[in-house]
Structure 1
Amino acid sequence: MDDRRSHDRWHLGPPVDEQGKELDPWQFDEGRVIELGCVPRFPLDIPGRPLDFCWAAFSILVVHERFVRLFERLGVQEVQFIPSQVEGHAGPWFILNPLRIIRCIDDARCEEVQYFTPEDGQPEKVGQYRVVAGMRIDPTKPGDARIFRPWGWTGALIISEDLKQALEREHITGTRFTEV
Structure 2
Amino acid sequence: MFAGVERVPIVSQEVADAFKMLAPDDVQLFPVTVEGAPERYCIVNALKTVDCIDEANCEGLQPYEQDDPHPEHQGAYRWISGLRIDSAKAEGALVLRPMKFKTAFIVSEAIKDALEQIGNLGISFERVTGPRKKKGGH
Q: Does 1:132 align with 2:76?
A: no
CA gap 1:122/1:161 in 2 versus in 1, 3 angstroms: same
Q: Which of residues 61, 65, 68 in structure 2 aligns to 1:117?
A: 65
Is 1:159–2:107 an aligned residue pair?
yes
Matches within 5 A, 1:49-64: 54-58=1-5, 59-64=7-12
Letter in 2 for 1:81: L
Tell me the equivalent position of 2:45: 97
* Paired residue total: 126
Following TM superposition, by how much is the alpha carbon of 1:123 offset from its aligned partner in structure 2, in angstroms?
5.4
1:176 shift after superposition: 0.8
Equivalent in 18, 25, 36 of residue 77 of structure 1: 25
Structure 2: which 5+ residue stretches go unaligned?
A: 129-138
User: What is the CA distance between 1:83 and its match in structure 2?
Assistant: 1.1
Match of 2:94 in 1: 146
Shift of 1:143: 2.9
Segments of 5+ residues of structure 1 without an aligned counterpart are: 1-53
In 1, the alpha carbon distance for the partners of 2:113 and 2:95 equals: 13
TM-score, L = length of structure 2: 0.81
CA RMSD, aligned part only?
A: 1.7
Residue identity opposite 1:122 in structure 2: P
Q: How much has 1:171 moved relative to structure 2?
A: 1.4
Q: CA deviation at 1:96?
A: 0.5
State the 1:172 CA deviation.
Answer: 4.9
